[in-house]
Amino acid sequence: MGQVTVEINDRKRQIACDDGQEAHLRRLGNYIDNRVKELVAAVGQISDAQLLVMVSLLIADELSDAYAELETARSSDEGTAAILSAEETLSANLDKLASRIENIAESLEQT
């Protein structure tokens, strides 16, 4: 079992992950940290819990847009097999992301 330190909103957190997923988890952490920094710049520093909720909603909005684009592409006849494969990958990644967000939320609740 791997372990990665991610820094979000200037706070370091230890996150467990499957072996070989460390680099991917670091990229996700960097992505979330960048989104948090954008929010802090827009609304000022607020509690970690509020930031977590707001960033989660922003990412959910992005995923909603991605699903809408996928649905539009799926409705066309071109590239159906590639789209289905991308959808399966996206679904698996969403499940992993949801699990990681839940772990981060639990960590925030413990602090």
Q: DSSP letters along 84-106, please?
A: HHHHHHHHHHHHHHHHHHHHHHH
pLDDT band at 30 (very low <50, low <70, confident <90, very high): very high
Pick the more confident residue, 8 or 105: 8
The predicted model scores a pTM of 0.63
Instruction: Kindly report the length of the chain.
Output: 111
| Nearby residues of 12 by Cβ (< 8 Å), 6 or more positions away | 5, 6
Is the pLDDT reported for residue 102 higher than 80?
no
Give the model's pLDDT for residue 105: 73
Domain locations in the chain as residue ranges: 2-110
Lowest mean pLDDT among 5-19, 31-45, 64-78: 64-78
pLDDT band at 77 (very low <50, low <70, confident <90, very high): low
